[in-house]
Structures are given as structure tokens and as C-alpha cells.
A and B are shown apart, each in its own frame.
Chain A
Amino acid sequence: MSAQNNGGQPGNGQAARAEAQRLFGAFQNWGAVPIEAAILQPAGTLLDLYGEDIRARAYVTHDPVQGEMMLRPDFTVPVVQTHMAGGAEPARYCYMGEVFRKQEGAGGARASEYLQVGYEVFDRANPQRADAEVFALFARLLSGRALRPSIGDIGILRAAVNGLPTSDLRRAALMRHLWRPQRFRALLERFAGRAPLPEARAALLARLQAGERVESAAPQIGLRSGAEVEARLTKLLSDAQTPHIPGALVDRVEALLNVADKAPKALAQMRAHAGDMPWIAPSLDLLEQRLAALAALGIDVDALDFEASYGRTTLEYYDGFVFGFSADGREDLPPVASGGRFDALTTVLGQGSSIPAVGGVVRPALLVELEGGA
């Protein structure tokens, strides 16, 4: 039909596989233990993690016994599960194999089946040093290519939200939508009292505030009970009494989200924002330690791009350091390599236990394409 599959040749065939083998071998030489993951993954876990959006990205199929399954959209989830089920500590893993993602938006131009080579570190000792180790390893394996590395830190954004002087309810709403920049911004503006309430909400609040009993003559149907409706009305009423977040502070948060500069300059700018948001200072200290660890491993941090919002729009689970290597001047391509820290994912999949974890993947087919070998 379209050019999506090149007649069964995933990505760019042999050249990509050779490149993948080179990277896979390099990760093993570095001490990583190769790990396998089934191509068919239970859909339940992935749906629970990512929500309905994953259906637009992953191929769903059905097994008569195991129920709904997905063609592996990434390795991180099965690797974390394998490790949490009894891996040694600390652990370093690597993997190589196809992942499958629908490419609807891209007009069918991007491969929907492609190789990924990845490396993941599970280590409690010194997270900043582990972050630096992963980045430096990727930088070394990708050196000599025309790639532009960028880093970010979701941990700083989380710290900024967590410290905001407002209700738990509002902080939770912001945290939940950290991954949806437009929605996040709309919420911030509303919590600052700078965006009007929707008319219907304003009318409802007016009735509640007048002490009116708001109910419907319609029968109660469905699983959501009358008590749940009541509980939300109570929440709305108390939320309406929550004082606004000062506008100047919201401006600071928005400025923080827009920080993009060479890493040391970006850090200095964020230190300036921390004057009004002292609660982000500890997360900035961690960034500073990470930059020092990177410099100690030979990374030129003065030339490294830092973007505060980096990694915010991906369908991912990163909650700290994030990084990517992108082809310069090829905004049409996804990053050739990307990764980050996913401590929270180990908690979600760990059934009671958790461990700091960081890692990343390379897409060898993109490397080959950029070299003109496609």
C-alpha cells in the first residue's frame, strides 16, 4: 500500500543490523548483560502505564488464552519487569531487537518496525554519576557523527510544581498534566486567576456558593454513584476558595519551562528563578552534580545544550535526567538516540520495591540513513 514497510525490510535492512550489532557488542564490552524480551507483551501493563494513547501508537492483537497483547513498543518495561523480579544489584543490561510503533501522523513515511539497541543501569549508589555514565557512553559510541546532544531534567519541573503554594488538589492536577504542555499551561493560568472559568463552571459555583442544593431530576444510572458526584461538588466548592497562585510566581514557572541554553548558562538562569522558588534549589544542586560528573567523564558541558522542557511531550516515563542525540538540521527525524531516568517506573512495576534506574536507546536505522546508507 504505502511506503511504510519497504516490502518486509524493516528500516534499512542489513546496514542497520550491522550498526546495531556494533552498538550491542560495545554495550556488552562495557559490562552490560544482554537481556531478551518477548515481542508479544501483555497489553494490560502497558495500558495501565500509558493509558489509551498507547493504542494509537502500539499494535494490539489478541491471544485466545492471554487476552489482549501488544507488539513490543519498547524494551524498557519488560527489562524493568525482569530486573524487579530478582535481578542482582547493581545491574547493567543491554538489548537489541525490533520495536513496533504505528506511524499514523507521519504520513506513513517513517518505519513502523525498527531496531532498537538499548542500555539500562539499575544502581542505588550515585544516581548523578549513573546519569553521567550513560550519557558519556552514548556520546562515545555516537562520536564522529553529525549529532547534536541535548539534555533536560524532568526532576526540576516536578520540584517546581511540588513546591507551589497551593492546594494538594491543584498540585496533583498540575503534576498529572506535566506531560501535556498546553493543558498544563491552561491549568497554571487558571490557578493564577488569569484565565476565566468556563461559564458552566462559574454558574455551578454560584449556585453552590448560594447554598443551593444542586441535583438532577434524572435517575442515577451507571457505576459512578451519587456520593461521588456529591464529593466532587464539595471539592469544587473548596477549590473555588483556594487563593490564586501569585501571577509573578506563575510567570517564573513558565520562564523556567522555557529555559534553553548551554548547560552552565541554563543552570545560572534557573538559579535566578530559584530566588522566587527556593524549593527547586535541591534539584538544581543535583543538576550541578550531574554536570560535574559529566565533565569528569570528558564531556564538554560548556557546549552542551540544556532545555528545561526536553522530553516533556514524549510518551515516556522519565522523571529526572533526560537526553537525546538529534541529527542537526533534521527536525523531521526523531532523535537518533534518547534516554533518561525512570525511577518511578521501577516503583510502579516493582510490586512494593523500587530502585533508581537510567538508560537509553539508539535507533541504528536512523544512524545509517544519516550516513547516506539508506
Chain B
Amino acid sequence: MSLDQRVKIGVPSKGRLMEKTFDWFSARGITMRRTGAEREYSGAVDGLEGVDLVLLSASEIPRELAAGRIHFGVTGTDLVREKLADWRAQLEVMAELGFGHADLIIAVPEAWVDVETLDDLDAVAAAFRQDHGFRLRIATKYHRLVREFLRANGVADYQLVDSQGATEGTIRNLTAEAVADITSTGETLRANHLKILNTAPVLRSQATLYRSLSADWSGASADILAHLRERVAG
């Protein structure tokens, strides 16, 4: 690594997640700020020499970390586990940041008074397939996480259908029978007449600071890593 090569830290580029990330680092003596015009995605870091701020969509940060194009990144646990197979071999958790809490849950229509547990969902899926000639559809964008969870819990006869947004609406629109989505308060689910299954969530997620294991950690970047570890621990 040449002397002028710098360490990159990826942070969500907008909204509350960005502001809270800035606050979290600020409380540890590292000041992050956006530079340039308001809509320009560029930033700077003060209080940690040799570090550049990269503003990215939270959903792209796992991929950038895995590729080693950024050294550190802040994003949700849910996105890392969904997007990276074998994520532990690629990333290290530096710190859980204590905000951005959300659960990945499975929800069904409130009118399904016969369904509370995953066993119920499984039994209903079997009956649904018989009655309708196709597998019960669960709309989600978290394919890997939901599939692993359902397999581990012995649920069969379902299919996942992709939904990248407004997932709660898919049941009313007859494109799915159940949904698997991220929720923090459950309000949107209730407003759409859905109820959360009475089981542990598929995943509890929060904003997390990750380190890429494949980025270039030679030379000065090793010192920066040691320095950041101290700040994070304090």
C-alpha cells in the first residue's frame, strides 16, 4: 500500500440511518460530515487521519465490503446476512451501534384465526397446495434468510415471490398469501390487516459497523484499524 492510499469507510447516504451514524461516531471523537452541495454524495472525516468517507446506499454496503473496495461500513445486520453467503468469512463485526433496530418477521392475514405458529403455517401451506394447485406464496425481498429459516423449522409446500417494496400490499393484491418483511413497530402490518406469527423473528437486525476482511490492510491502514478499535471500545 502506498503512503497516500487511504482507508475508506462506507456510510448510508441518506436519512436517519446516516444522521444516527454520524452521531454515533461523533460521540467517539470522530466527526463525519457531508461536503459539497446538499444533494452531492461526498463527505469527509475529521479526528481520524487518513480516512475517507464514502456515502453509499445501505443495501450496497455489504457487497462493497465483501469486495474489499471499502475497509469499514455501516449497514443493517439484515442486509449483510441476506446478501452475503458465509458472511463470517468475509466480514468482522466491529460494533453494534444500538439503533436502526428492526425484526424480520413472517406475517399472515389477521383473518387467519387458525394460524399462530410455524406449524400452523406449514399445515396451511399443505392444505393450500391441495386446494389451489400451487404452493402458498410468501412475498419477501429476504429470500436467503427466509428460506433458511423455514427449512430449519420444517416448513414445506411454500414458495417465495419477490417483492422489493410495499410488501404488505401483496396479499390484498392477490400476489401472495403471506409476507416476510422487516418491521420495527408493526404499524404498517396492522394497517394492512396482517398479524405477526407468534414465534421468534427470522432475524433481529440493527445498524452495525463491519470491517472487510478482504480489503487492503497493509501499511498505514493497520494503524488506522488499531486506532478505530480503541475508539469503538471506548
Which A residues are closer than 8 A to B by beta carbons? 47, 51-53, 55-56, 104, 107-108, 173, 176-177, 180, 182-183, 186, 198, 200-201, 204, 214-216, 218-224, 226, 228-229, 231-233, 236
A201 and B89 CA atoms in complex are apart in Å by 40
Contact between B150 and A104, CB atoms less than 8 A apart: no
The listed residue with most A CB atoms (<10 A of its CB), out of B114, B157, B159, is B114
Contact between A221 and B109, CB atoms less than 8 A apart: yes
Contact between A52 and B116, CB atoms less than 8 A apart: no
Contact between A52 and B159, CB atoms less than 8 A apart: yes
Q: How far is the CB of B162 from chain A (nearest CB, A)?
A: 11
Contact between B171 and A222, CB atoms less than 8 A apart: yes
Contacts of B193 in A (CB 8 A): 218-219, 221
A173 and B171 CA atoms in complex are apart in Å by 27
Contact between B112 and A229, CB atoms less than 8 A apart: yes
Contact between A198 and B154, CB atoms less than 8 A apart: no
The listed residue with most A CB atoms (<10 A of its CB), out of B86, B112, B117, B147, is B112
15 pairs, A vs B, C-beta closer than 8 Å: A52-B160, A55-B160, A108-B86, A173-B123, A176-B156, A177-B154, A216-B113, A222-B171, A222-B174, A224-B136, A224-B177, A228-B128, A229-B113, A231-B127, A232-B124
A233 and B116 CA atoms in complex are apart in Å by 12
A231 and B130 CA atoms in complex are apart in Å by 13
Residue from A180, A204, A222 in contact with B113 in the complex, judged by beta carbons closer than 8 Å? A204
Contacts of A220 in B (CB 8 A): 109, 111
Residue from B114, B128, B159 in contact with A47 in the complex, judged by beta carbons closer than 8 Å? B159
Q: Is B39's beta carbon under 8 Å from chain A?
A: no
A108 and B90 CA atoms in complex are apart in Å by 12
Residue from A56, A182, A226, A229 in contact with B154 in the complex, judged by beta carbons closer than 8 Å? A182
Contact between A198 and B119, CB atoms less than 8 A apart: yes
Contact between A229 and B111, CB atoms less than 8 A apart: yes
Q: How does the 8 Å CB contact mask read for B101-121 relative to A, with 1 for contact and 0 for none?
A: 000000001111110110110
Contact between B86 and A223, CB atoms less than 8 A apart: no
Contact between A107 and B89, CB atoms less than 8 A apart: yes
A231 and B123 CA atoms in complex are apart in Å by 12
Contact between B172 and A222, CB atoms less than 8 A apart: yes
The listed residue with most A CB atoms (<10 A of its CB), out of B109, B110, B120, B132, is B109
Residue from A107, A214, A221 in contact with B171 in the complex, judged by beta carbons closer than 8 Å? A221
Residue from A52, A218, A226, A232 in contact with B123 in the complex, judged by beta carbons closer than 8 Å? A232
Q: Which residue of B lies closest to A232 (CB)?
A: B114
Q: Is B59's beta carbon under 8 Å from chain A?
A: no
Residues 139-167 (chain B) with a chain A CB within 8 angstroms: 143-144, 147-148, 150-151, 153-154, 156-160
Contacts of A108 in B (CB 8 A): 86
Q: How far is the CB of B184 from chain A (nearest CB, A)?
A: 22
Contact between A221 and B117, CB atoms less than 8 A apart: no
A108 and B156 CA atoms in complex are apart in Å by 26
Contacts of B144 in A (CB 8 A): 56
The listed residue with most A CB atoms (<10 A of its CB), out of B123, B135, B144, is B123
A155 and B154 CA atoms in complex are apart in Å by 22
Contact between A201 and B111, CB atoms less than 8 A apart: no
A236 and B193 CA atoms in complex are apart in Å by 24
Given known contacts A107-B89, A224-B128, A224-B177, A214 and B113 CB-to-CB distance under 8 angstroms: yes
Contact between A223 and B113, CB atoms less than 8 A apart: no
A218 and B158 CA atoms in complex are apart in Å by 24
The listed residue with most A CB atoms (<10 A of its CB), out of B156, B158, B192, is B156
Contact between B114 and A216, CB atoms less than 8 A apart: no
Given known contacts A221-B171, A228-B128, A177 and B111 CB-to-CB distance under 8 angstroms: no
A232 and B150 CA atoms in complex are apart in Å by 21
Contacts of A231 in B (CB 8 A): 127
Q: Which residue of B lies closest to A225 (CB)?
A: B131
Contact between B177 and A223, CB atoms less than 8 A apart: yes
A53 and B85 CA atoms in complex are apart in Å by 16
Contact between B159 and A219, CB atoms less than 8 A apart: no
Q: How far is the CB of B49 from chain A (nearest CB, A)?
A: 32
Contact between A221 and B111, CB atoms less than 8 A apart: yes
Contact between A223 and B135, CB atoms less than 8 A apart: no
Given known contacts A51-B135, A223-B174, A107 and B86 CB-to-CB distance under 8 angstroms: yes
A215 and B114 CA atoms in complex are apart in Å by 9
Q: How far is the CB of A78 from chain B (nearest CB, A)?
A: 22
Given known contacts A53-B147, A224-B109, A236 and B85 CB-to-CB distance under 8 angstroms: no
Residue from A53, A180, A198, A226 in contact with B116 in the complex, judged by beta carbons closer than 8 Å? A198
Q: How far is the CB of B105 from chain A (nearest CB, A)?
A: 15
Contact between A52 and B114, CB atoms less than 8 A apart: no
Contacts of B177 in A (CB 8 A): 222-224
Given known contacts A104-B85, A221-B172, A223-B177, A201 and B117 CB-to-CB distance under 8 angstroms: yes
The 8 A-B residue pairs with the shortest CB-CB distance in the complex, in nearest-first order? A183-B154, A218-B110, A200-B116, A222-B171, A218-B193, A232-B114, A180-B154, A104-B85
Contacts of B188 in A (CB 8 A): none
Contacts of A226 in B (CB 8 A): 111
The listed residue with most B CB atoms (<10 A of its CB), out of A176, A200, A223, A228, is A223
Q: How far is the CB of A88 from chain B (nearest CB, A)?
A: 33
Q: Is B198's beta carbon under 8 Å from chain A?
A: yes
Q: Which residue of A lies closest to B178 (CB)?
A: A222
Contacts of A183 in B (CB 8 A): 153-154
Q: How far is the CB of A61 from chain B (nearest CB, A)?
A: 15
